[in-house]
Amino acid sequence: MSDGGGSGTRAPGERPGHREYEVVPVAELSPVEAEQYRRRWWVRVALFVSLPGLILGTLTVATAYGSSVLRGGETCQPIVLSAPARSDVRVRVLNANDTDGVASAVARTLKERGFTVTDVDNADDRTYVRGVATIYYGSAGLDHALLLQRQVPGARLWSDGRDGSSVTLVLGYGYRQLVDEPAPPPPMPDKVKVNVYNTTFREGLAQSASDDLADRGFRIGDVGNDPQAFHLPDDVGVIRYGPDGEGAAQRLTNYLDGVRLQKVRRDGTTVDLVLGNGYGGIKPASKVPAPTPFVRAAENIERPCHAP
């Protein structure tokens, strides 16, 4: 039968060529042929043992090179840079999960930590984020996104080609909480706006109290009778504040003995000081710890070595 490579006969005793094979017992081989057989056998054993290791080593080197481990003998290291100021990070916070109010809570904390929040809203119904969060940014906002990413462990970055340095934080179904960070001290008096209201029959009480607070550095808003018509016959006063004004309310309590705090639903950081019959004036300056401005320590970011 032809194998497609020619045909022919073999004389008795003729050894097979490269196209035909036969099994010959080793005992029938000549001494030279037997030596050649043993050499070929040991070559096959050596190849069987070493070839898998050679292949594995080749793959390891290729993988290392592809991951920049062996690229000219140098490793690809992140570039450590000074982070932008937190106030320069303008972030929009969107909620893409089913937890009501989570975007508002995150935005409030980010503002307390010095970030500038430009908007809070629900994400588009077509937006689905299975993981913790996605931070969208443009080429000018990479460093801003990297700084924000440190606040949201597990968030991934996504460049959407936007102009400017603003970023958008979209909270996903995997979000749990921001990174733990010590709460900043209450704002300085010149950052606190206070409405002063009178609930007593003592004329001019609100104006007198507002003048004293202004002398201590507070910003004064409305002054007059309480628009909510509180009746505080036995109280020194009540400080009304919303979720964003908690720090401002805490600062104001340092200047008044016996005042009560009341958290209400309102936007902004402005607080109300509602004076009752027990009000006898603000503390003397000697009894109030001198406030010191809060200076945040310098921060660094690690820009990936492959980033532009």
The answer as to CATH 3.30.70 being correct for domain 189-287 is yes
Q: Which of 188, 194, 187 is nearest to 271 (CA)?
A: 194
Record the pTM: 0.67
For 113-165, the pLDDT digits (tens) are 999 999 999 999 888 999 999 999 999 999 999 999 999 999 999 999 999 99
Nearest Cα residue to 303 out of 53, 22, 81, 75: 81
Domain parsing of the chain, residue ranges: 26-66, 81-183+299-303, 189-287
Q: What is the pLDDT along the chain (308 residues), one digit of tens a residue?
A: 433 444 343 344 444 444 333 444 545 556 655 565 565 555 454 545 555 554 455 444 445 445 444 445 567 888 999 999 999 999 999 999 999 999 999 999 999 999 999 999 999 988 899 999 999 999 999 999 999 999 999 999 999 999 999 999 999 999 999 999 998 899 999 999 999 999 999 999 999 999 999 999 999 999 999 999 999 999 999 999 999 999 999 999 999 999 999 999 998 999 999 999 999 999 999 999 888 888 889 999 999 887 66
- Is it true that 81-183+299-303 and 189-287 share their CATH fold? yes
SS (H, E, C) 166-202: CEEEEECCCCCCCCCCCCCCCCCHHHCEEEEEECCCC
The topology under which CATH files domain 81-183+299-303 is Alpha-Beta Plaits (3.30.70)
